Structure 1
Amino acid sequence: MYDNILIPTDGSEQAGNAVEEGIRLASELDATVHALHVVDEFEAKIVPITEAEDEKREEYLEHGEAITDEVAQLAEEAGLGCVTAVRTGMAHKEIERYVDENDIDIVVIGSRGLGAVEEMLLGSTADKVVRIVDKPVTVVYKRPAETVQWMLPSAEDTIHR
C-alpha cells in the first residue's frame, strides 16, 4: 500500500507531531521513512552578500541535517529504514519535487497552526502541499497543551454546593 512515506520537517513542535505520526504509520506498514528539510531560499538570501552569507547558508544546511538525522534516529529505533535529504528552495515546491523523484506514496506533514486570518492571507506550507502534491497528504495538528488548558475548568473554577 504505502512503501515510502515522506515526512517534511522544520524542527518545530508541529513538525515533531508529524514525525511521530509518520513513524507510527511507517511502523504499521513496514514502510521506508523519508525525512526532508527545506532551507527556505528567501530566508537564506536575507543575509547580506558578504562572506557571512556562505557561513549562514552553511549553518542552515547543518541545521537541516541535524533535524533530518533526528528523524532517522527515531525511525531506526522503530526498526525502520530512513532516507534523509536537505534541499534549498520554496518548501512546497521542493516537497512536490521530492515526491515525484522518490516514488513517495504519502506525505505526513505538520501544520504550523496559524490563526485563520494569517493562514487565509499567507497560506501555509501544508496547505500548499495538499493542493499541489499528487499523492495523499496527511496534515497533523495537535493543539498545544497551553491552549487546551484554558478551556478546562480548574479546581478554583469548580463551584461546590
Structure 2
Amino acid sequence: MYDRILVPTDGSDCADRAVEHAIDIASQYDAELHVLSVVDTRDVSHSAPAISPDQVQQTLRDRAESVVEEVAERAEAAGVDAVTAVEPGVPDDAVVEYAADEDCDLIVMGTHGRTGLERYLLGSVTERTVRRSSVPVLTVRGTDEDDA
C-alpha cells in the first residue's frame, strides 16, 4: 500500500512523534522513508539585525541538515531505507511539491511545530498541507507538554 513515505520535520518534539510513527509504518510496509526539512525562505532580515540574512539562512540550513541526518540514522537503525532532503521554500508548498515530485504515497507529520503567537499568525503548515495534498496525510498530535 505504501512504497514511499514522506515525513517532514522541523526538529520539534511534535515532529519527532510523527517521525516515530513514520518509521514504524515504513518498517511494516517495507517502504522507503523520505525525510524532509524545509528552510523557510520568507524574509528573515528583521529577526536578527546584527546578522546578515544569508548567515541566518545558512544557520537554518545547517540545523535542518542535522535534523534530517539524525532521523535517517534512526530509520536505518530500525531497518528502514531513508532518503534525506533539505529544501528552501515556504514549508507547506515545499512539502506538497516534494511529495508529488518523489511520488510519495503517504505524508506523516506533526500537528504543529510552531508555538505561541507565531503559530496563530502564520497558520498551520500541517493544516495547509492536508488541504492541498493529493495523497493521504497522517497527522500526529503532540503531547500535552508539546502544547505548553
Q: TM-score, normalised by structure 2?
A: 0.87
Q: Which residue of 1 aligns with 2:112?
A: 112
Which ranges in structure 2 are unaligned for 5 or more consecutive residues? none
State how many pairs are aligned: 147
Whether the 8 Å CA contact 1:41–1:88 is kept in 2: the answer is: yes
Distance (Å, rounded) in 2 between the aligned partners of 1:143 and 1:43: 31
> Are the structure 2 counterparts of residues 68 and 44 from structure 1 closer, same or farther at C-alpha, using a change threshold of 3 Å?
farther
1:74-112 deviation line (CA, Å, top 9, x unaligned): 110011111101111110000011011101010000012
Whether the 8 Å CA contact 2:15–2:113 is kept in 1: the answer is: no
- 1:135 aligns to what SS in structure 2? coil
The structure with higher relative contact order (CA 8 Å, sep 6+) is: 2
> Are the structure 2 counterparts of residues 25 and 51 from structure 1 closer, same or farther at C-alpha, using a change threshold of 3 Å?
same
- 1:107 aligns to what SS in structure 2? strand
RMSD, aligned α-carbons: 2.8
Structure 1 residue 52 and structure 2 residue 55: aligned?
A: no
1:108-149 deviation line (CA, Å, top 9, x unaligned): 00012889x9977643111101000100000000322587xx
Structure 1 residue 84 and structure 2 residue 78: aligned?
A: no
Q: Which residue of 1 aligns with 2:94?
A: 94
Larger Rg: 1
Distance (Å, rounded) in 2 between the aligned partners of 1:13 and 1:53: 26
Q: TM-score, normalised by structure 1?
A: 0.80
> Are the structure 2 counterparts of residues 46 and 94 from structure 1 closer, same or farther at C-alpha, using a change threshold of 3 Å?
farther
Whether the 8 Å CA contact 1:113–1:141 is kept in 2: the answer is: no
Q: Which residue of 2 aligns with 1:151?
A: none
Distance (Å, rounded) in 2 between the aligned partners of 1:92 and 1:51: 26
Distance (Å, rounded) in 2 between the aligned partners of 1:8 and 1:113: 11
Question: Could you tell me the percent identity over the aligned residues?
Answer: 37
Q: Which residue of 2 aligns with 1:19?
A: 19
